[in-house]
């Protein structure tokens, strides 16, 4: 790796007013594949996800169900946690914004801003969208006074608020983005943020009066107000990093020195709909507190149905857990990461899902089955001791291509390169014809080289596919006589000769396609 040998990766923390859906799953699996790849490449990784549990929507949903807000939070956080477990998410921490530690860090952060003169009291008059938890000016509104983001009706409000002096950091933020062209990726998202910043950047309302909303973190300097849910939520990245010790005396809480913590984050991963909050609100808040900015922001596209973004309110979301029950976790992970070019939108269709599944079954799964079967048949289940170097040049080229693509977050290209190696290995089987070599007593050494080469190729493929298909690659390695999936470095030098292989059911069995939706 060319970057530092430790990485702090984050997903957004999800608003748990509804069940996890395909959009949540994609973001989380994307971050997980990156985290697993970095670990495979020898990097020390800290991977954060969680739930964003305060705000108007949670209070309203709890009221609708007739339960306390915290009871709803406990229920939904458990569902998100269970979903990530079933989807093989390897997070190091699952944070909840109702945790005592996070509440204390938020209050310490806001106190820091208050004491530095970055927050002032003011009055707000304008339009508010409960669903997006955002204020809008008259000129921002859509047809009929609708929220420009979600199209829902807005409410006119007049109230006392506290404001963060966000506008004073506009020039500094523009300078940072222009001086660090890879800070926001892909380029089109960077350009969107710069376009947003061409207009004067107003100050940010960071509070809500308790007369309207009680479910939130109380401001440390006004007990009649709670923190705006987006400010509360964004600070989770700082809480989890271990940078801030809110129990320490003022001046010793960690705002002046991040040494020894995970901050700054190396990569924030999120959908394009929340890019502004991460690329404008969050960095300016950090500037106000005197803290370093995250190193990079990756903003991906949406999953759409036809021409429309998947949305719970539109009833067009796909349940990733239902797909998992039918096709398996690794097949869902493969489809989501293989099908969507990182940063662009992609459309879910059953036909495309089946095409990607067939790729797993007919290329990678077929190669594994036939290689292990031939070692069983021709060499009594033991990998021969031949050099097995015939595909080494191709393997090295694939490793380079995968690393290059992953460094640029072109995960779909990295997976395509790995699959192409499996496809070429299948072609090499046809070229070498081990079944014919087995019939020729004088070709025993050639057969050994063929089988050893293919076994080594499978080990490499297991290491390359592990980030996206961890369960199936662990199973493949067990069948190859290994006790775990090797790292990328180990896969090229691991002693495979003499290992006893074991046949089993297909890694990706044929499926009945009737009724797939």
In this structure, are 200 and 119 located in the same domain? yes
Are the beta carbons of 348 and 335 closer than 8 angstroms? Answer: no
Are residues 422 and 465 located together in one domain of the fold?
A: yes
In a domain, 276, yes or no: yes
Q: Is residue 317 part of a domain?
A: no
Q: Are residues 293 and 342 both part of a single domain?
A: no
Q: CB-side exposure of 76: number of CA atoms within 13 Å?
A: 28
For 162, the 3-state DSSP assignment is: strand
Q: What 3 state SS string does 98-150 have?
A: CCHHHHHHHHHHHHHHHHCCCEEEEEEEEEEECCCCEEECHHHCCHHHECCCC
Q: What is the pLDDT of residue 512?
A: 66
User: Quick one: 226 and 332 in the same domain?
Assistant: no
Give the angle 111-16-18 at the CA atoms, nearest 5°.
Answer: 150
Per-residue pLDDT tens digits for 180-202:
999 999 999 999 999 999 999 99
Are the beta carbons of 349 and 310 closer than 8 angstroms? no
- Asked, for residue 30, whether it belongs to a domain, the answer is yes
Q: Are 161 and 268 in contact (CB under 8 A)?
A: no
Which pLDDT belongs to residue 283? 98
Distance CA 450, CA 498 (A): 15
Q: Side by side, which strands form the sheet with 155-164?
A: 134-136, 119-129, 155-164, 204-205
Tens digits of per-residue pLDDT, 345-377?
A: 888 888 889 999 999 999 999 999 999 999 999
What is the model's pLDDT at position 414?
98
Run of H or E including 185: strand 184-185
430 domain-assigned: yes
Collect all residues with Cβ–Cβ distance below 8 Å to 197 and sequence separation of at least 6. Answer: 170, 173, 174, 177, 280
Query: Are residues 295 and 167 both part of a single domain?
Result: yes
**Tokens 């957004």 found at:** 12
Domain count, the chain: 2
Residue 365 lies in a domain: yes
DSSP annotation string for 474-505: HHHHHHTT-SSPPPHHHHTT---TTPBP---S
Domain membership flag for residue 235: yes
Strand partners, 204: 164
Beta-carbon-side half-sphere exposure of residue 505 (alpha carbons within 13 Å): 4
Q: What is the CA radius of gyration of the chain?
A: 26
Distance separating alpha carbons of residues 490 and 399, to the nearest angstrom: 12
> What is the rounded CA–CA span in Å between residue 254 and residue 256?
5
Q: What is the mean pLDDT of residues 44-60?
A: 96
CATH classification of the domain holding 11 = 3.40.50.620
In this structure, what CATH number is given to the domain that contains residue 383? 1.10.730.10
Give the dihedral sign, CA 302/305/308/313: negative
Q: For 360-497, where are the alpha helices, taking DSSP H only? A: 366-379, 392-407, 411-432, 434-439, 444-465, 470-479, 488-491
Mean pLDDT of 373-385: 97
Residues 239 and 376 grouped into a single domain: no
Least confident of 37-46, 320-329, 382-391, 436-445: 320-329
Q: Name the token pair of 196.
A: 């947003």
In the chain the first and final C-alpha atoms are separated, in Å, by 41
Q: Would residue 134 count as lying in a domain?
A: yes
- Angle CA 189–29–33, to nearest 5: 90
pLDDT score of 149: 78
* pLDDT band per the 50, 70, 90 thresholds, residue 514: very low
For residues 358 and 213, membership in a common domain is answered with: no
In this prediction, residue 1 carries a pLDDT of 35
Q: Provide the pLDDT for residue 272.
A: 95
Give the pLDDT of residue 148: 86
Q: Does 273 share its domain with 340? A: no
pLDDT of residue 315: 52
Over the stretch 69-95, which tens digit does the pLDDT of each residue have? 999 999 999 999 999 999 999 999 999
8 A C-beta contact, residue 351 and residue 494: no
Report yes or no: 418 and 469 within 8 Å, Cβ to Cβ.
no
Buried b (16+ CB within 10 A) or exposed e, 202-233: ebbbbbbbbeebebbbbbbbbeebbbbbbbbb
Region for 164 from its dihedrals, namely left if φ exceeds 0, alpha if ψ lies in -120 to 50, beta otherwise: beta
Cβ-based neighbour number of residue 325 at 10 Å: 12
343, 406 contact by CB (below 8 A): no
Structure tokens at 410: 């072109």
Bridge partners, residue 93, by sequence: 48
Residues 235 and 126 in one domain: yes
Last residue of a domain, one of 261, 285, 300: 300
- Are 265 and 347 members of one domain? no
DSSP 248: S
Give dist(CA 388, CA 392) in Å, integer.
8
Q: Strands across the sheet with 218-219, in order? A: 207-209, 222-227, 218-219
In a domain, 310, yes or no: no
- Per-residue pLDDT at 3: 43
Q: Residue 55 pLDDT more than 70?
A: yes
- Regarding whether 257 and 113 lie in a shared domain, the answer is yes
Instruction: Look at residue 2 in the predicted model and tell me its pLDDT.
Output: 39
Per the structure, the complete domain to which residue 13 belongs is given by 6-300
Which is it for the CA torsion 467, 470, 472, 474, positive or negative? positive
Three-state SS at 15: coil
**317 or 348: which leads in pLDDT:** 348
Is the same domain home to 263 and 368? no
Residue 194, CA atoms < 13 Å, CB-side half-sphere: 17
Span 407-444, pLDDT tens digits: 999 999 999 999 999 999 999 999 999 999 999 999 99
């Amino acid at each position: 790796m060319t970057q530092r040998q430790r990485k702090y990766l984050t997903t957004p923390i999800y608003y748990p007013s509804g069940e996890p859906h395909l959009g949540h799953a994609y973001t989380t699996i994307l971050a997980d594949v990156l985290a697993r790849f970095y670990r495979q490449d020898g990097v020390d990784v800290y991977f954060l996800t969680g739930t964003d549990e305060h705000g108007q929507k949670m209070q309203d949903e709890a009221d609708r169900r007739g339960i306390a807000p915290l009871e709803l939070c406990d229920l939904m956080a458990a569902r998100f946690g269970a979903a990530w477990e079933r989807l093989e998410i390897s997070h190091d921490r699952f944070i909840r914004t109702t945790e005592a530690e996070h509440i204390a860090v938020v209050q310490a952060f806001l106190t820091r801003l208050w004491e530095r003169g970055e927050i002032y009291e003011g009055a707000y008059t304008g339009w508010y969208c409960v669903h997006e938890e955002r204020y809008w000016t008259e000129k921002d509104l859509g047809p009929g006074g609708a929220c420009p983001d979600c199209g829902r009706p807005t409410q006119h409000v007049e109230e006392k608020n506290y404001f963060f002096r966000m506008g004073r950091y506009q020039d500094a933020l523009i300078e940072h983005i222009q001086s660090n062209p890879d800070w926001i990726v892909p380029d089109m998202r960077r350009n969107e943020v710069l376009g947003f910043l061409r207009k004067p950047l107003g100050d940010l309302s960071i509070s809500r009066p308790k007369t309207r909303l009680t479910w939130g973190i109380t401001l440390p300097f006004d007990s009649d107000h709670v923190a705006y849910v987006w400010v509360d939520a964004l600070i989770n990245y700082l809480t989890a990093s271990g940078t801030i010790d809110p129990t320490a005396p003022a001046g010793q809480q960690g705002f002046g020195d991040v040494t020894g913590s995970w901050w700054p984050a190396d990569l924030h991963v999120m959908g394009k709909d929340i890019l502004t909050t991460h690329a404008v609100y969050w960095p300016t808040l950090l500037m106000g507190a005197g803290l370093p900015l995250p190193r990079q922001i990756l903003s991906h596209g949406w999953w759409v149905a036809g021409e429309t973004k998947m949305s719970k309110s539109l009833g067009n979301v796909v349940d990733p857990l239902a797909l998992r029950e039918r096709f398996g976790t690794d097949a869902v992970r493969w489809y989501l990461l293989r099908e969507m070019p990182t940063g662009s939108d992609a459309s879910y269709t059953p036909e495309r899902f089946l095409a990607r599944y067939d790729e797993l079954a007919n290329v990678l799964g077929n190669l594994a089955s036939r290689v292990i079967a031939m070692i069983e048949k021709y060499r009594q289940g033991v990998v021969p001791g031949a050099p097995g170097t015939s595909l080494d040049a191709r393997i090295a080229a694939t490793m380079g291509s995968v690393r290059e693509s992953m460094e640029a977050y072109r995960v779909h290209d990295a997976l395509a390169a790995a699959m192409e190696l499996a496809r070429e290995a299948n072609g090499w089987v046809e070229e070498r014809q081990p079944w014919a070599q087995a019939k020729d007593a004088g070709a025993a050494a050639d057969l050994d080289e063929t089988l050893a080469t293919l076994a080594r190729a499978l080990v490499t493929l297991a290491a390359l596919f592990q980030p996206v298909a961890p369960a199936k690659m662990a199973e493949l390695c067990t069948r190859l006589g290994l006790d775990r999936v090797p790292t990328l470095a180990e896969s090229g030098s691991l002693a495979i000769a003499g290992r006893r292989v074991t046949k089993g059911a297909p890694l990706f069995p044929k499926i009945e396609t009737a009724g797939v939706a």
